[in-house]
Structure 1
Amino acid sequence: MASESRFSSQFKNQGKDQEALRKSRADEVVTIRKDKREDLLSKRRNLAEVEGDFGAGPSATTPTGHAPTQMDVQMLNEMFMGVVNATDPETAEQASTTLQEAVQQVRRMLSTERNPPVDQLIGSGVLPILVRCLEKSFSVGIQFEAAWALTNIASGTSEQTAAVVEAGAIPLFLELLSSESVNVCEQAVWALGNIIGDGPHYRDFCIQQGLVQPLLSFIRQETPIGFLRNVTWVLVNLCRSKPPPARELIQVLLPALAILVHHTDTHILVDTIWAISYLTDGGNEQIQMVIDSKIVPVVIPLLSHNEVKVQTAALRAVGNIVTGTDDQTQLVLDHGVLHHMGKLLNHAKEKINKEAAWFLSNITAGNVQQVQMVFDAGLVPTLIKLLSDGDFQTQKEAAWALSNVTISGSPAQVHSMVQMGVVQPMCKLLDIKDPQIINVILDGLQNILKMASDDQAALTHLTNIIEECGGLDKIEQLQNHDNEEIYKIAYEIIDHHFSVEDDEDPQPGTAGALDGAPSSQWSF
């Protein structure tokens, strides 16, 4: 979260730098972006039996019924060496079958839904054997079972993933991407996705080792849908981590994403849009690259998709874009994004309400023309209603959106917002426990009062509204707040607009309204 001092410097109505406002909002929602979402994991375990499973073993554990002991590992190693040292085809086939069944038992232990014995397996010393089973000299069945087992180990903690990497699995998985077996290719993709999902270090290493082109080669019509889902998910992991991937990689990935964003499969579509959203979360340069790829006009209509997961991902993607420059924001606006926002603000899912309000807070941090587009779309009354009645997280985002109007908007726009009833719900939230939002609201109220200060009748009307709804009492109490910035703004509001001396101010209309606008626009 941004510090309060930085917040103060950006939102005290001194130098209306729209890009700075947007960057601040992008930082403020870092917790939104880092929310743990159960529908999109960086690592995935393979639990199900699949078509093409190479044989079926009798048990999900070793003959002793638990994780392998040192003796079990020794037996597994002997089976492994039996395949390596076989001198005739018959012996080799028998040894291969025996080893495959043993590796399959290990894999099945790791495929249990609850508490798989991953650490016990790593501690037993079985990992190097599993990794060597990926080598081309072993049968497709052994490669598949070993790859599956290692996939599930790599789906665990960072330490467990590191154990797989340190055992030398990455180069062998990359080799398996050229296997003639679709199942083996898919399992290798899955395993690499789990390794990449652990963070940028492994991501960059896999990229350097040549992952990307073989991965993209699977994006073709004949690829089975389940396999293509895994490929798309790995693309998400390539785009996910910070720092973002190199510019050269983004240029390679965007054409693939531009193909996948048209896919009819919901899983693929959702993951594709999340990949785009991660790229647009990397700064203005990455945002421009996404814009140049012509993906944005395809994503915007997905805001009205019938699947909530698609809407959520699309909203995040376009929301990230409008944290960019005015020109980047304008492109999104020009493609009709605001036509979708009314439904999103009124969506049954509160998280979508919140993110739609966050999106609009970055539009109202733009220029006057962009603020006017929000008014013209009829969205301000809905934002005011959410400020009054929404859940707390949505109220916070609505507070940002409406307060930004008092910074970026014209006096006429602010006056219109006041007429719509924004003051009362702003005052209502002044007793919450969130200092940052109190600061946002006080800043908005102070800006409104300043804009009306040259029209005494309008100012009196505003101060009466604030007093009658209990806002004045709350502002007076905030003069005792521990937060210095809150104390200062509250003091300034009381001192400048509610002190006894205000009665001695000049008569209305002597100076004109803010920015040269006629004072009559503040008439009520």
Structure 2
Amino acid sequence: MPWLYLGHPSLALPPCQRGQTGLTPQPWGGFPSPGLQSSGQGPLSRFIRHTCLSWTYDSRAAALGGTMTFRGDGNKRDEHLLKKRNVPQEESLEDSDIDSDFKGQNVTLEAILQNAVSDNGLIQLSAVQAARKLLSSDRNPPIDDLIKSGILPILVKCCLALTNIASGTSQQTQAVDAVPLFLRLLQSPHQNVCEQAVWALGNIIGDGPQCRDYVISLGVVKPLLSFINPSIPITFLRNVTWVIVNLCRNKDPPPPMETVQEILPALCVLIYHTDINILVDTVWALSYLTDGGNEQIQMVIDSGLSLPRPLLSHQEVKVQTAALRAVGNIVTGTDEQTQVVLNCDVLSHFPNLLTHPKEKINKEAVWFLSNITAGNQQQVQAVIDAGLLPMIIHQLAKGDFGTQKEAAWAISNLTISGRKDQVEYLVQQNVVPPFCSLLSVKDSQVVQVVLDGLKNVLIMAGDEASTIAEIIEECGGLEKIENLQQHENEDIYKLAFEIIDQYFSGDDIDEDPSLIPEATQGGTFNFDPATNLQAKEFKF
């Protein structure tokens, strides 16, 4: 089944813009939530865990041509615009000045146009303000005459100048106190004017949650979404989608719930677009919304949104990454929300993701799975049944440190959530040696996660704990645990002491028959505990 359906079956599937038909939603239902089991000092909960990744997406605007610039790309701005910005503030004209200059004069369009093309910035400003006054008149504003006069490109350039200022620092953005005017320009009958206004508003919204909420409070969402229609040029739609991303980002605080409700239907349409830039931005918008807590995750699920499953195996890495983060955020929620994703057979994509040549994809994939193994026992079993546990252990042993860290979480979570037979299977996959190798890293959190996992395995093993202890000792883990009794972190040295005291006492070793030297025919002793250990078949 090609599409990952996240919505309720009673909700209609959004229309496809590119002629894709035959899409059948996959229904989902409620599932019991037995909650996490805990043995000793276990890893953090799923909701807290998902914040550990620091890799983020940098939003950008698609290039629209001309002298437009991206946020943060101020050094590349047009020199002419820089000169316009440098007009001394004390020489700027206020409306009262314009009134005095033009009062009693029959200002013609020809005069306004002549002033608009002047090399003097003050004269240009007076012309633009005069044009604004004409357009603001209640009695038949000369809109058509102004367009025919040729002043429109100059007015667009003025809007562009403010757009570039709005793409600067926070102080520069706040200096552009023109949000109501930009919102008014969204109603312009001329698309290039609307496009410039959207660009400027996107830069202001992207400055942070305060600016975002201010622009939202003035009513930006409805006119912005109205541009999403079949006739919109692709470059304009890319810009609109980028602004939607900025509306969704930042979770301290998150966007208003009413705004999320307004945006979700648009995302349900944009998710089917074939343009890579629009597709990536749409999925990142979803990832930001699902990063805002369980309530927003549920809103996305209830919206009827369909996330194309093939995006997880898309040939473009940036599409894969965005899709992986979006579904990854959903599984940070409740067990029921996690099950919605698992019901869509997403785990079938993970063999390729775990062997992807890009390490950041490996890391995201293992992070996703670490939140599955933090779920209920049925969800843990789904990971095992998909054949993913040996691949996680491979990343634990061979991946880069960021991926190893996520793999340590995945393993340790399983020792808390899993049944006895599931933990037994984990040990049978030879997880202990690579797990113990992380006990010597400098990251205290990783060390504690590994100690937690080892202690949970030893507890779960019961009467077979001595066998686990032998494996730990044989791979060098015991020496590392002994050294950790001197660790500066109190939780770590206490855990290390408890493990040594409970499972590595001298009496236990003396009583282990596998460690007793065997007498040879010549009367000498053969001491080879490793050979005796390998001959044992491990089973709890």
Provide TM-score, normalisation by structure 1: 0.79
Deviates more, 1:463-472 or 1:252-261: 463-472
C-alpha displacement at 1:47, in angstroms? 7.2
C-alpha displacement at 1:173, in angstroms? 0.2
For 2:21, the equivalent position in structure 1 comes to none
C-alpha displacement at 1:339, in angstroms? 0.8
For 2:539, the equivalent position in structure 1 comes to 523
For 2:46, the equivalent position in structure 1 comes to 22
Matches within 5 A, 1:236-385: 236-242=245-251, 243-295=253-305, 297-385=306-394
Q: Indicate whether 1:481 and 2:487 are aligned.
A: yes
Q: Indicate whether 1:471 and 2:471 are aligned.
A: no
For 1:157, the equivalent position in structure 2 comes to 169
Distance in structure 2 (CA, Å) of the matches to 1:224 and 1:83: 40
C-alpha displacement at 1:495, in angstroms? 0.6
Distance in structure 1 (CA, Å) of the matches to 2:225 and 2:85: 37
Q: In structure 2, what residue type is equivalent to 1:523?
A: K
Q: In structure 1, what residue type is equivalent to 2:539?
A: S
SS of structure 2 residue aligned to 1:453: helix
Higher RCO (CA-CA < 8 Å; seq separation 6+): 2
Please tell me whether the aligned partners of residues 374 and 380 of structure 1 are also in contact (alpha carbons under 8 angstroms). Answer: yes
Distance in structure 2 (CA, Å) of the matches to 1:304 and 1:265: 17
Q: Give the RMSD, CA atoms, in angstroms.
A: 3.5
For 1:93, the equivalent position in structure 2 comes to 113
1:405-427 per-position Cα deviation (integer Å, ceiling 9, x unaligned)? 10000111111111111000011
Quickly say closer, same or farther: Cα 1:171–1:452, change in 2 above 3 A.
same
Q: In structure 2, what residue type is equivalent to 1:256?
A: A
Distance in structure 2 (CA, Å) of the matches to 1:144 and 1:179: 11
Distance in structure 1 (CA, Å) of the matches to 2:153 and 2:481: 72
For 2:156, the equivalent position in structure 1 comes to 144
Please tell me whether the aligned partners of residues 155 and 161 of structure 1 are also in contact (alpha carbons under 8 angstroms). Answer: yes
Distance in structure 2 (CA, Å) of the matches to 1:346 and 1:132: 64
Distance in structure 2 (CA, Å) of the matches to 1:104 and 1:94: 9
For 1:424, the equivalent position in structure 2 comes to 433
Q: In structure 2, what residue type is equivalent to 1:162?
A: Q
SS of structure 2 residue aligned to 1:454: helix
Unaligned runs of 5+ in 1: 1-9, 51-58, 106-125, 508-519
1:119-144 per-position Cα deviation (integer Å, ceiling 9, x unaligned)? xxxxxxx9x99899877568432331
Please tell me whether the aligned partners of residues 205 and 212 of structure 2 are also in contact (alpha carbons under 8 angstroms). Answer: yes
Please tell me whether the aligned partners of residues 367 and 408 of structure 1 are also in contact (alpha carbons under 8 angstroms). Answer: yes
C-alpha displacement at 1:206, in angstroms? 1.3
Distance in structure 1 (CA, Å) of the matches to 2:509 and 2:353: 45
C-alpha displacement at 1:247, in angstroms? 1.6
Distance in structure 1 (CA, Å) of the matches to 2:186 and 2:388: 50
Distance in structure 1 (CA, Å) of the matches to 2:378 and 2:85: 66
Distance in structure 1 (CA, Å) of the matches to 2:192 and 2:245: 21
1:15-51 per-position Cα deviation (integer Å, ceiling 9, x unaligned)? 98x9x7211212333x33xx4x44x24x78977448x
Among 4, 8, 13, the alignment partner of 2:39 is 13
Unaligned runs of 5+ in 2: 1-35, 69-77, 137-145, 514-535
C-alpha displacement at 1:70, in angstroms? 3.5
Distance in structure 1 (CA, Å) of the matches to 2:347 and 2:361: 15
1:158-215 per-position Cα deviation (integer Å, ceiling 9, x unaligned)? 11111113xxx10100000011211110110010011011112221121121111110
Quickly say closer, same or farther: Cα 1:412–1:80, change in 2 above 3 A.
farther
Quickly say closer, same or farther: Cα 1:78–1:338, change in 2 above 3 A.
same
For 2:17, the equivalent position in structure 1 comes to none
Please tell me whether the aligned partners of residues 98 and 129 of structure 2 are also in contact (alpha carbons under 8 angstroms). Answer: no
C-alpha displacement at 1:521, in angstroms? 9.6
Distance in structure 2 (CA, Å) of the matches to 1:401 and 1:504: 35
For 2:71, the equivalent position in structure 1 comes to none
Please tell me whether the aligned partners of residues 46 and 151 of structure 1 are also in contact (alpha carbons under 8 angstroms). Answer: no
Quickly say closer, same or farther: Cα 1:154–1:381, change in 2 above 3 A.
same
1:279-337 per-position Cα deviation (integer Å, ceiling 9, x unaligned)? 10111111011011222x42433111111111111111101100101010001000011
1:217-239 per-position Cα deviation (integer Å, ceiling 9, x unaligned)? 00001000000001001111111
SS of structure 2 residue aligned to 1:298: strand
For 1:119, the equivalent position in structure 2 comes to none
Please tell me whether the aligned partners of residues 134 and 143 of structure 1 are also in contact (alpha carbons under 8 angstroms). Answer: no
C-alpha displacement at 1:384, in angstroms? 0.4
Please tell me whether the aligned partners of residues 63 and 235 of structure 2 are also in contact (alpha carbons under 8 angstroms). Answer: no
For 1:462, the equivalent position in structure 2 comes to 468
Deviates more, 1:409-418 or 1:498-507: 498-507
Identify, as 1 or 2, the structure richer in helix. 1
SS of structure 1 residue aligned to 2:50: helix
Quickly say closer, same or farther: Cα 1:346–1:134, change in 2 above 3 A.
farther
For 1:3, the equivalent position in structure 2 comes to none
User: In the comparison of the two structures, how many residue pairs are matched?
Assistant: 458
Distance in structure 2 (CA, Å) of the matches to 1:421 and 1:130: 75
C-alpha displacement at 1:250, in angstroms? 1.2
SS of structure 2 residue aligned to 1:198: coil
Distance in structure 2 (CA, Å) of the matches to 1:281 and 1:307: 23
Quickly say closer, same or farther: Cα 1:434–1:12, change in 2 above 3 A.
farther
For 1:398, the equivalent position in structure 2 comes to 407
Please tell me whether the aligned partners of residues 112 and 131 of structure 2 are also in contact (alpha carbons under 8 angstroms). Answer: no
For 1:5, the equivalent position in structure 2 comes to none
Q: In structure 2, what residue type is equivalent to 1:468?
A: E
Quickly say closer, same or farther: Cα 1:172–1:377, change in 2 above 3 A.
same
Quickly say closer, same or farther: Cα 1:451–1:279, change in 2 above 3 A.
same
C-alpha displacement at 1:344, in angstroms? 1.1
Q: In structure 2, what residue type is equivalent to 1:344?
A: L
Q: In structure 2, what residue type is equivalent to 1:22?
A: R
Please tell me whether the aligned partners of residues 103 and 142 of structure 1 are also in contact (alpha carbons under 8 angstroms). Answer: no
Distance in structure 2 (CA, Å) of the matches to 1:83 and 1:270: 51
Quickly say closer, same or farther: Cα 1:131–1:87, change in 2 above 3 A.
closer
Q: Percent identity?
A: 54
Distance in structure 1 (CA, Å) of the matches to 2:84 and 2:201: 28
1:415-452 per-position Cα deviation (integer Å, ceiling 9, x unaligned)? 11111110000111110000000000011111111111
